[in-house]
Amino acid sequence: MYLEIVSPEATLFTGEVVSVTVPGINGDFQMLSNHAPIVSLLQEGTVKIQGNVSIDEAFEDKFSKDSNGDTVLAISSGTIEMKDNKVIVLAD
């Protein structure tokens, strides 16, 4: 599935991923390929990306790796939309 992470400053990431886990307002949830369409608010936490992730050099300082080797991004709030195997995260 295709993931796009957009912040007020720039588009931080675009690319194919295996899964995305986000901090929803009712708890963390994960999306895989062919997930049902969804729109949800996000709260403070981390966006976890699984897959062969290549971060643009200009934004490497915003991302880190967790103990499992997954790429993570800390956010303070945001919105997520999943539709037709495309996930868009609008993150603050």
Strand pairing class (11-16; 19-24): unpaired
What's the whole-model pTM score?
0.95
Q: What is the pLDDT of residues 29-75, one digit of tens each?
A: 999 999 999 999 999 999 999 998 999 999 999 999 999 999 999 99
Q: What is the pLDDT of residues 29-39, one digit of tens each?
A: 999 999 999 99
Single-letter amino acid code for the residue at 38: I
Count of domains for the chain: 1
d(CA 60, CA 77): 20
Expressed as residue numbers, the domain containing 14 is 2-91
Region 2-9: what's the mean pLDDT? 96
CATH number at residue 69: 2.60.15.10
